A and B are shown apart, each in its own frame.
Chain A
Amino acid sequence: MPAPAATTATPKGRAYGILAEFDTPAEIMRAAEVVRDAGFRRWDVFSPFPIHGMDEAMGLKNSKVGYISFTGGVLGYTTGMLMIWWMNAVDYPIIVGGKPMFSPFGAFPPSYELTILLGSFGALLGMLFLNRLPRLHHPLLKNKRFAFATHDKFYVVIETTDPKYSETETRKLLESAGSRHVEWVEE
């Protein structure tokens, strides 16, 4: 671990935020609670895997992906039923085996599959939309140290745009939360 003194220099460019590194999930969780209780808003926790209980530690609300997926599912089912009814009973009806032109039972399997299809697209695309992804550039991805966020380290990043942000106090807060490595992240 490099000496903290080496990282106190202010960044050359505009600062994106301040980054604090932690070694274990329990440490980052304690730190997240400290940052949450200090009332920060524009901040985040980065980890190589989802940490159970972190949403509460950060004070996050339940994800909204479910609503988007549900809308997709409803759209899929309605599309399937209306499409089959219109095609086989309205636009070009043909008698097949004495069966009714439209029956909800015969139309159910394709509509059911379309429910799942559009519901799944809703889940994946909804997740990407809520996360504002794909994003091919991010200040953190330029940071050498941050590459360990997908390996085995844990980070708290507080953005400089946060109303409670202060160049000296925020750093002290993160150090007191137990981080042995705090550094600036350039924009």
Chain B
Amino acid sequence: MAHAATTIPVHPAPAVLTREPLVANSRSIAWISDAIAGVAEGKTPVWWWAAFVPAVILLVTCFSLIAYLISAGTGVWGLSHPVMWGWAIINFVWWIGIGHAGTLISAILFLLRQKWRTGVNRAAEAMTIFAVMCAGIYPLIHVGRVWLGWWLFPIPLSQGIWPQFRSPLMWDVFAVSTYFTVSVLFWYMGLIPDLAVMRDRAKSIPRKFLYGLFALGWTGSNRHWSNYEKAYLILAGLSTPLVLSVHSIVSLDFAVAQLPGWHTTIFPPYFVAGAVFSGFGMVLTLLVPLRSVLNLKDLITERHIDLMCKVTLATGTIVGYAYAMEFFIAWYSGNPYERFTFINRALGPYGWGYAWMISCNVIVPQFFWIRWFRRNVVVVWILSIFVNIGMWFERFVIVMTLHRDFLPSSWGFYAPTWVDIMTYIGTFGLFFTMFLLFMRFLPIIAIAEVKAITPYADPHHPLGGAKSGGHR
């Protein structure tokens, strides 16, 4: 053949890029049931008791100090003019913010078809519920006269007066209670098929009875799955605007006030980003050790950790942008009070809090640009704790804005008392008591959802039994 010059160059077929699997080691669907349900079965491990007993001690501390607060009055806290909103509001916002990652993972990532969410959604939703419980304590106890807390709800009173719905504090009551209720509904609905798994595996009569009772008679019928999946999609669709609204409304508690440093329109988006950021910090803090202790590394893989670090990086950077923009607007507005507030935040008596905030929330997540940091679980765990600390300081900085307002004659200083500090530490007791009970009795990973993302569950995949060209 003399026509070599006309040969068309043939490129070699590109190498197939395979994604890192979401369930490592090609685990079968039976293995997934056994591994996840096994965590809540069998003998209680010693380490569980070693964690549970201190958690209960802290829980008792928390409730004893609340009893002390109610009997003695809010004077036992460090609140004093001009800082009349201290650790109670800081801790409230901090805890409720943590919850937001759970809803983001369960709802927003579901709508975005992010299959990796199935490995972490159950634990993250549980975290949401327990964090909202910790948060919910504070609005109730900080009102001072706790026994009148029910006045916050539109219940007829003998004096005939109604709650005042023009106040963002009333909006907050509706936002937080709806958030808690819907989070519980969403979590429970996800649990129904998994409770049926637990029921069908149970050996003892009490376990059969209790799991059976809460599984509501679930059989795995496809006619049921059809309605179930639609309801799950709707709940995800409703939770998405809910989670965005909750922290927006929390931010309005501040932003509706006519106070320099608080009265700004950037607050709602900035609070939502910060909430998701802090929530992912807490999810990482919890799941990085748990996946090792519970032998669930095949289900919560390094890829899951990697992806969560990326969300942390993205939201942390949004938060950093918000800090910069806030400062810029303070200067650009030309308002001397606004300018003073921001310079005082950064360089005033509480400047150290500002330094913590910037280092933990803006600088720390930048490490996650580099793959090595995202893949090194010990480093991820340490950095996630700094995220938690940084987001606490963000709320501290915002609340401490109160200490120097318009008139220097009314300036003051704020310091917490031991009651403030121990009540806050005590809320960790509530959180960890609930979380440990959850992981002892309920499936910590959504069994049915993880099964559904494996190739064994796909009728169009050879591992799902498909012949060439689909399930036929």
Contact = CB atoms under 8 A, between A and B. Distances in A.
A116 B29 contact: no
Contacts of A88: 162, 164-166
B230 A51 contact: no
Contacts of B224: 131, 133
Contacts of A8: none
Interface residues of B, number: 73
Contact of B200 (A116, A138, A151): A151
Given A66-B230, A130-B227, A152-B33, A140 B222 contact: no
Contacts of B252: 109
Contacts of A2: none
A30 B471 contact: yes
A45 B164 contact: no
Interface in A110-130: 110, 112-114, 116-117, 119-121, 123-124, 126-128, 130
A63 B226 contact: yes
B457 interface: yes
B234 A119 contact: yes
**Interface SS of chain B:** helix
Contact of B162 (A30, A91, A109, A152): A91
A109 B249 contact: yes
A83 B163 CA distance: 11
Interface string A141-171: 1000011111110000000000000000000
| Interface majority SS (helix, strand, loop, mixed), chain A | helix
A134 B225 CA distance: 14
B220 A26 contact: no
Contacts of A46: 219-222
Interface residues of A, number: 75
A49 B449 contact: yes
Interface string B117-137: 000000000000000000000
A65 B78 CA distance: 51
A12 interface: no
Q: 10 smallest A-B Cβ distances: which pairs?
A: A24-B465, A26-B465, A127-B231, A135-B217, A134-B216, A87-B162, A63-B230, A49-B452, A109-B171, A26-B471
Interface of A: 23-30, 32, 44-55, 58, 60, 62-66, 69, 73, 83-84, 87-88, 91-92, 94, 96-97, 99, 103, 106-107, 109-110, 112-114, 116-117, 119-121, 123-124, 126-128, 130-131, 133-138, 140-141, 146-152
13 contacts: A32-B222, A45-B221, A47-B225, A50-B448, A50-B452, A53-B460, A63-B229, A91-B162, A116-B242, A131-B227, A136-B213, A141-B217, A149-B200
